């Protein structure tokens, strides 16, 4: 393969990933809204999302996902005032 073909394949893969991400976010967003509309507390929705995420990463590159989650947790910690924690 040439560099041009490699670039085209990478661009196509990125486009497919973008579309898949949009579909996944829509599906998850609708599910979260449904949960919230049925009065499920936010901390339980977040807990359920974390469990689903855990199930998804079993077959993925765990170190990359762990790094992303650590960064996300740090960002949340930096921007969240102290609030009571739910168990």
Same domain for 60 and 31, yes or no, is: no
pLDDT tens-digit readout, 69-87: 888 889 888 887 666 666 5
pLDDT at 52: 87
Same domain for 50 and 19, yes or no, is: no
CA distance 43 to 49: 10
DSSP string over the chain? --HHHHHHHHHHHHHHHHHHHHHHHHHHHHHHHHHHHTT--HHHHHHHHHHHHHHHGGGS-HHHHHHHHHHHHHHHHHH----PPP-
Same domain for 53 and 67, yes or no, is: yes
Same domain for 86 and 72, yes or no, is: yes
Cα→Cα distances 76→68, 80, 82, Å: 12, 6, 11
- Its pTM stands at 0.66
Same domain for 32 and 64, yes or no, is: no
Domain containing 70 equals 41-87
How many Å from the N-terminal Cα to the C-terminal Cα in the chain?
54
Same domain for 28 and 46, yes or no, is: no
pLDDT at 16: 92
Same domain for 64 and 27, yes or no, is: no
Same domain for 54 and 24, yes or no, is: no
Same domain for 47 and 64, yes or no, is: yes
- Total structural domains in the chain? 2
Pick out the chain residues at pLDDT < 70: 1, 59-60, 81-87
pLDDT at 12: 92
């Amino acid at each position: 393969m040439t560099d041009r073909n490699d670039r085209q394949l990478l661009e196509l893969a990125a486009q497919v990933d973008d579309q898949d991400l949009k579909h996944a976010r829509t599906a998850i967003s609708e599910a979260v809204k449904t949960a919230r509309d049925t009065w499920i507390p936010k901390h339980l929705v977040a807990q359920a999302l974390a469990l689903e995420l855990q199930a998804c990463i079993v077959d993925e590159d765990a170190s990359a996902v762990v790094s992303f989650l650590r960064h996300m947790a740090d960002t949340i910690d930096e921007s969240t005032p102290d609030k009571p924690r739910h168990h």
